[in-house]
Amino acid sequence: MFKPVNRYIQIGLPEVIPQTHSGIVLPDDFKPTEERYGIAEVMSYASDVRFKDQIAYGASVIVDKSMIEEITVNNEKINIILDNYIVGIIKQ
């Protein structure tokens, strides 16, 4: 089990399935322009996160996608981000 420290938050990202609506076949390495911000799910967070009283496990947050770090531990990919790159919390 992974437990973030030093203001890191473990996040889950939605799986993106590339689609073309025009029927044009694109190269496998083609990457369309992406939005800078996206929605992620809080999986776990460090005890020193500055706004831990405002988030909970499973909460939806808006993150700066360019600052997401992907690490691999025991062949498992984990996405983490520092708390200052979370720009908003989506209240349910």
Sorted by where each starts, the structural domains of the chain and their CATH numbers stand as 1-13+35-92 (2.30.33.40)
Are 25 and 50 within 8 A, CB to CB? Answer: no
Taking the chain (92 residues) in runs of 10, the rounded mean pLDDT of each run is 94 75 75 86 96 91 96 94 96 78
Rounded Cα distance between 80 and 78, Å, is 6
Amino acid letter, residue 48: D
Indicate yes or no: pTM above 0.85: no
Q: Compute how many other C-beta atoms are within 10 angstroms of the C-beta atom of residue 9.
A: 25
Residues 6+ apart with CB under 8 A from 2: 10, 44, 73, 76, 78
